[in-house]
Each structure stands twice: as C-alpha cells, then as structure tokens.
C-alpha cells in the first residue's frame, strides 16, 4: 500500500509538473517528425496544409524517413504574439516515393512562424534564416529547447540519496538470509 | 547420521562433456539472440507497419504498451520451469515464440499484430529466464560467468542484426516489414536439430529425484521465492534489476531521438553509430562474464555501475558528434554489459528447486516494469513541448544519477558474493 502511494505521488508530481508548460518548439518538432512518418503521419494537426506541402509535396505518398535531419532550436519572440522557431532540415537522397513532380520550396535552414490558435501553437509560415540570424539550432551553436537548471541537478542528487535510504529500509525489513555455502564442488 | 553424510555427494552433478556444453551454449545463444532481435525489430518497422496496415502514432503507443504487458505476463510461463523442467519449458517457449512470430508476419490488421506480439513476448520472457537458469545449473562454476556473458551478449547482437538487415534493405523486398518477422523461424530450425541431444539439467534432475521421497519442496507455488530465507536477496536483487533497467532501457529507447533532435545528427549517422557501438559494447558482456569468474560478481558489478553512471550521464550531455561515438561505446559496454552480472544474481542466490521462479520474479516482475517506468519518466520530464525539463538529454542524465547510484549502493551494502558458491550444498540445505 505504501509503495502504491509512493507511485501515485510520483505520478501526480509529474502530471502537475508537466501541466504548466507549452513550448512552441515542441509543436514544430512534432510537426516535422510526423511529416517524416509518411502515410502514418498527421502533420495537419500542427501546421497549415500549404506549409506542410512546401516541405514535402504530396507527403502522404512519401516513404517514412524522407527527412534525414530534423532539428529545432530555442524560439525567439515575433510580432503580434507570434514566435520564431529556428529549424534545420535535410532531405534523404531519394524522394522518388513521393509520387510528384513538385519540388520542396521550404528553406533548409529556416524559422517557423508559430502562432497560438485556439489554445494550441500552430505553424503558419516558414521563412529563411541568414547566417547572421541570432536564432540558431543547437548544432549551429544555438540554445537547446530546454535544460535542467542547477537546482534540478541538486534535487536529483537528493532524490538519489532518498532512494538509497528507502532501498535500505525495505531490504533491512526483510529477514536475514542464510549464509551462502562457498568453495564449489561443481 | 551416515545417511545424512551421504546426501551432499548425491547432489553434486557429474560434469557434462565439453562437446555437450558447446552445443548447449549455441542453442541458448539463439534463444537470447532473438530476445534482442524481437525487441529492436518492432521499433524499426513500426512506421512501415503503420503505413501498411494503417494506424496512428497513438495506436503505435498502444501496441508498445500491449507488448510490454506481454513481457510482464511472461512471468507466469517462466516460473513453470521449476515445475515441468528446464528442457521442456525451453522447447515450449521456442515453439510458442516461433508460432507467434509467424502470426505477426502474417498479420492482416493492427489488432492481429498486437495480439501476436503480445503472445510472442510471453514466450520470449520465458525463454530468457530458462536460458540463464540452464547456464547456472549446467556449466561448472569457473565457467558460469563467462558463459552468462557470452549468451547474454547475443541479446545485443540480435539488436544489431536488425539494423544490419535494415541496412541491407530487407524492408525493400516484396515482403517489406513482414520479412523481419519471417527471420524468427530460425530458432525453431535450431531447436529441431538440438532437441534430441538437449537433456534436462542434471542439477534439476537430482533435486527432483532427492525430493521424491520427502515431497517437502514446493516446485509449483509462484510465491515460493518470497519465503523468509530467500526474501531479502530477492528484494535486493529485484530492486537492482528495476533501477538498472529503468536507466538502461530509457537510454536505449531515447538515444536515437536525443542524437537526432537535440544534437542534430542524421538518421543514417545515428543508425551507423548504434551499429558500431553495439558491436564494441557487446564486448562489455564478454569482459563482464570473464571478470565475474576472475574477480567476483560483486566487484565486477560495482565497477560496471560506476562506468554506467559516468558514461551514461556524459553521453546525454554531449553535443559533439565525434566525441559521441566513443562515449556511446563505453555507455553500452558498462550499461548493457552489466546484464550478465544481474543474470547471475537472479539465479545463483536461490536453490535449484526455486531458481527459475526467482529469475522470473527478478526479470518479469522487477526488470520489465523498470523498462516501462524509465522511458516513461524521461518522456514526461524531457518532452520538448510540455516537459518541465524540456530536454531529453538532461532528463536521461538525471535518471542515470537518480537510479544507478542506488543500484551501486545496494550492491555494496546488501549483495553477497556468489563466485565460489557451492550450489550442491545450497540444494542440500533445502532438502
């Protein structure tokens, strides 16, 4: 019962902790990952159809893995409540499965314009990013989407110590085992 | 008194011939190889399956969960080895696994596929537990560690083979993803040849024979390993299994995502890295097995856990592609390689009549739930949209710190050494 309570408490903590965050970078990343699933993907959930088509025209017919690289960096503020999310994509060498003569028009190194619509972030446009643009993806030296502050690392060390204590208490509560016979004859 | 003195000698089994042990090692390696193979193949071909049978990402998540539940339920089958014998259960699990894998290859719908994979995992879980039990009971004590290392290494090689087959383009054949599951017929072919020469373990036969007169050993009760005399070791070993596997399975699950989305590596580079590191990392099992025989289980495990926490934390903080490969190799070497030591702990601490059930408890009731818990926590914490940490790399590093340090602590404080354990004397004490 105590163990069940501990698991429930952890689950509640995680749900509460996850509840207050809604990063636009996550939506851009999910859109690209979903777009890269071929027929099984659902990129329309995250972006306007014309934006999706500019990356992979006729995407429903494309094989999974048409994008060899999909990377997203930390966002910057844009006009009228929008945000710019830097991204980098690289196509797989063969896009013949996409069954279309239309070529992708989206910039390989660009920024996704993301707006809040009906309580959810949505990709509404893509624009090119120059080398001098302050927005960068991590592999270009930009900031990662998120990271753990020092306090979280310290809390984790503390949690590890607490876990050790709990393990010790649980194990010591069990009866002492019989000594193991040594010096094997087989 | 004289009768009592004669008993210990009766329970010391005669040595098997080197030829038989070689053949046994090959047969058991096939069983563990397909444990790794099956674990990786579903991850690799899931997008193709969704494309072929139709389905969404959320349905893919449901399939994963169903497969995970099958592995947990495999406990009920694995525990039967103490009742029906090791040999019989090994044959049952191989035949069952092959049938379920063929059913997967023939799946006309997602529901069929999920059901077939669910059954397949039940048999695979049983196969793993009985394989390590047979090693402990058949191989002489000075070879047990290295044999456990060699056989458990096949788990990783099974995973690498999936990548190799994908690299060679098996998915591009007319059978597409189904071809990967047709490969699963190989264990049945091997067992068909090995079946006649494969015999029951002598240790199991001796204990069963010795108990025929007294009938006081319970060979069927699932909770027998929880008896007071075994409970403390079962809890300690179980805790180690849970936390170690929570970290390592999360690392295996999330590394490709981390490398692609947070470091910016291409899918093909990540595949190449995993293949190369897997081969080097598989040496971790071999070295671990030999170290177990030479230095002991406990010191080997503590060194492996120290290596796992250092290289595991480091791996998920690296942003440099060139540095990532050697650190990935060392992470797999220490993190996954430690499985050969935990497999020794889950069997050697328990007498023959209850050994397979103890291994099943450790593997199915502790380790596999850990394998569900770890990736889930990292996903919740590191989710790029909603996670409080917002970084899979940081969430993974935090998980390594939170879980591997307690594992090392339990090993140092509460785990005994079983390198020179006299299994016959252990069995005698239970009769």
pLDDT the model gives residue B2: 39
pLDDT the model gives residue A18: 52
Number of domains comprising chain A: 1
pLDDT band at B53 (very low <50, low <70, confident <90, very high): confident
Grouping H, G, I as helix, E, B as strand and the rest as coil, residue A179 is: coil
For residue B122, what are the domain limits? 18-430
User: Do the Cβ atoms of A160 and B405 come within 8 Å?
Assistant: yes
A160 is a domain residue:
no
Q: Which residue of B has its CA nearest to A64?
A: B47
A171 is a domain residue:
no
Distance from CA of A137 to the nearest CA of B (A): 8
Question: Is residue B294 less than 8 Å (CB to CB) from chain A?
Answer: no
- Average pLDDT score over chain B: 86
pLDDT in tens, B399-418: 999 999 999 999 999 998 88
pLDDT tops 80 at residue A182 = no
Residue B300, domain CATH = 1.20.1250.20
Mutation target among B45, B171, B349, B385 for the A interface, most CBs of A within 10 A: B385
pLDDT band at B6 (very low <50, low <70, confident <90, very high): very low
- Residues in A closer than 8 angstroms to B140, CB to CB, are 186
Compare CB distances from A177 to B232, B398, B422 and report the shortest one's residue. Answer: B232
Q: Which residue of A has its CA nearest to B234?
A: A171
Of B94, B89, B86, the C-alpha closest to B208 is B86
Question: Is residue B264 less than 8 Å (CB to CB) from chain A?
Answer: yes
Window 62-81 of A, Cβ < 8 Å to B: 64-65, 68-72
Strand partners, B323: none
pLDDT in tens, B142-153: 888 899 998 888
A175 is a domain residue:
no
CA distance B356 to B209: 17
Distance from CA of A102 to the nearest CA of B (A): 22
Distance from CA of B285 to the nearest CA of A (A): 23
pLDDT tops 70 at residue A11 = no
Residue A48, domain CATH = 3.10.450
User: Do the Cβ atoms of A90 and B266 come within 8 Å?
Assistant: yes
A185 is a domain residue:
no
Mutation target among A19, A37, A40, A89 for the B interface, most CBs of B within 10 A: A40
pLDDT in tens, A116-133: 998 889 999 999 998 888
Question: Is residue B326 less than 8 Å (CB to CB) from chain A?
Answer: no
User: Do the Cβ atoms of A175 and B229 come within 8 Å?
Assistant: yes
B10 is a domain residue:
no
Number of domains comprising chain B: 1
Compare CB distances from A168 to B233, B413, B429 and report the shortest one's residue. Answer: B413
Compare CB distances from A148 to B260, B261, B391 and report the shortest one's residue. Answer: B391
pLDDT in tens, A65-82: 888 888 999 999 988 889
pLDDT in tens, B228-256: 999 999 999 999 999 999 999 899 888 88
pLDDT the model gives residue A154: 96
For residue A40, what are the domain limits? 22-150
B6 is a domain residue:
no
Enumerate residues 6+ apart whose C-beta is below 8 A from A13. none
Map chain B to HEC letters.
CHHHHHHHHHCCCCCCCHHHHHHHHHHHHHHHHHHHHHHHHHHHHHHHHHHHHCCCHHHHHHHHHHHHHHHHHHHHHHCCHHHHCHHHHHHHHHHHHHHHHHHHHCCCCHHHHHHHHHHHHHHHHHHHHHHHHHHHHHCCHHHHHHHHHHHHHHHHHHHHHHHHHHHCCHHHCCCCCHHHHHHHHHHHHHHHHHCCCCCCCHHHHHHHHHHHHHCCCCCCCCCHHHCHHHHHHHHHHHHHHHHHHHHHHHHHHHHHHHHHHHCCCCHHHHHHHHHHHHHHHHHHHHHHHHHHHHHCHHHHHHHHHHHHHHHHHHHCCCCCHHHHHHHHHHHHHHHCCCHHHHHHHHHHCCCHHHHHHHHHHHHHHHHHHHHHHHHHHHHHHHCCCCCCCCCHHHHHHHHHHHHHHHHHHHHHHHCCCCCCCCHHHHHHHHC
pLDDT the model gives residue B4: 43
pLDDT the model gives residue B12: 66
pLDDT the model gives residue B57: 60
pLDDT in tens, B78-104: 888 888 899 999 999 989 999 999 999
pLDDT the model gives residue B1: 36
Strand partners, A88: A71, A109
B345 is a domain residue:
yes
CA distance B166 to B160: 10
CA distance B411 to B154: 25
Question: Is residue A38 less than 8 Å (CB to CB) from chain B?
Answer: yes
């Amino acid at each position: 019962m105590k163990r069940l309570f501990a698991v429930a408490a952890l689950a509640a903590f995680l749900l509460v902790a996850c509840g207050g965050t809604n990063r636009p970078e996550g939506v851009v990343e999910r859109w690209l990952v979903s777009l890269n699933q071929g027929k099984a993907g659902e990129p329309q959930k995250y972006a306007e159809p014309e934006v999706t088509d500019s990356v992979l025209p006729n995407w429903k017919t494309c094989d999974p893995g048409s994008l060899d690289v999909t990377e997203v960096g930390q966002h910057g503020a844009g006009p009228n409540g929008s945000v710019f999310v830097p991204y980098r994509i690289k196509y797989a060498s063969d896009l013949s499965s996409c069954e279309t003569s239309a070529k992708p028009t989206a910039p390989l190194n660009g920024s996704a314009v993301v707006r809040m619509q009906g309580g959810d972030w949505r990709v509404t446009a893509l624009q090119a990013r120059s080398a001098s643009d302050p927005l960068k993806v991590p592999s270009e030296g930009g900031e990662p989407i998120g990271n753990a502050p020092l306090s979280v690392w310290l809390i984790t060390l503390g949690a590890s110590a607490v876990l050790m204590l709990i393990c010790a208490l649980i194990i010591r509560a069990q009866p002492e085992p019989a000594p193991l016979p040594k010096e094997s004859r087989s | 008194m004289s009768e009592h003195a004669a008993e210990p000698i009766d329970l010391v089994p005669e040595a098997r011939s080197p030829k038989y042990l070689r053949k046994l090692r090959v047969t058991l390696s096939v069983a563990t190889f397909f444990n790794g193979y099956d674990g990786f193949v579903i991850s690799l071909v899931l997008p193709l399956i969704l494309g072929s049978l139709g389905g969404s990402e959320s349905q893919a998540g449901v399939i994963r969960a169903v497969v995970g539940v099958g592995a947990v339920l495999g406990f009920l089958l694995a525990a039967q080895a103490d009742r029906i014998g090791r040999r019989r259960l090994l044959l049952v699990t191989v035949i069952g696994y092959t049938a379920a894998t063929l059913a997967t290859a023939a799946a006309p719908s997602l529901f069929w596929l999920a059901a077939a994979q669910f059954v397949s995992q039940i048999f695979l879980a049983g196969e793993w537990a009985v394989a390590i039990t047979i090693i402990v009971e058949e191989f002489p004590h000075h070879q047990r560690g290295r044999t456990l290392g060699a056989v458990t290494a096949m788990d990783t090689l099974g995973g690498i083979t999936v990548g190799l087959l994908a690299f060679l383009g098996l998915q591009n054949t007319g059978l597409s993803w189904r071809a990967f599951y047709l490969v699963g017929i190989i264990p049945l072919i091997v067992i068909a040849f090995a079946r006649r020469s494969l015999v029951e373990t002598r240790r199991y036969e001796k204990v069963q024979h010795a108990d025929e007169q007294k009938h006081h050993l319970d060979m069927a009760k699932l909770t027998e390993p929880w008896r007071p005399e075994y409970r403390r070791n079962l809890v300690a070993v179980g805790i180690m299994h849970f936390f170690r596997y929570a970290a390592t399975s999360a690392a295996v699950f999330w590394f490709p995502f981390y490398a692609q989305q947070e470091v910016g590596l291409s899918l093909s580079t990540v595949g190449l890295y995993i293949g190369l590191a897997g081969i080097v990392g598989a040496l971790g099992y071999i070295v671990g097995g030999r170290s177990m025989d030479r230095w002991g289980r406990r010191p080997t495990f503590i060194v492996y856990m120290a290596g796992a926490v250092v290289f595991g934390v480091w791996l998920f903080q690296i942003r440099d592609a060139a540095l990532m490969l050697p650190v990935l190799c060392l992470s797999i070497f220490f993190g996954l390689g430690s499985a050969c030591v935990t497999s020794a702990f889950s069997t050697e601490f328990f007498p023959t009549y209850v050994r397979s059930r103890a291994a099943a408890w450790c593997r199915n009731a502790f380790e596999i739930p850990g394998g569900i818990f770890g990736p889930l926590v990292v996903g919740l914490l590191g989710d790029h949209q909603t996670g409080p940490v917002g970084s899979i790399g940081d969430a993974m590093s935090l998980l390594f710190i939170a879980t591997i340090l307690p594992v090392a602590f339990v090993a140092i404080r509460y785990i005994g050494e079983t390198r020179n354990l006299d299994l016959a004397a252990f069995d005698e004490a239970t009769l």
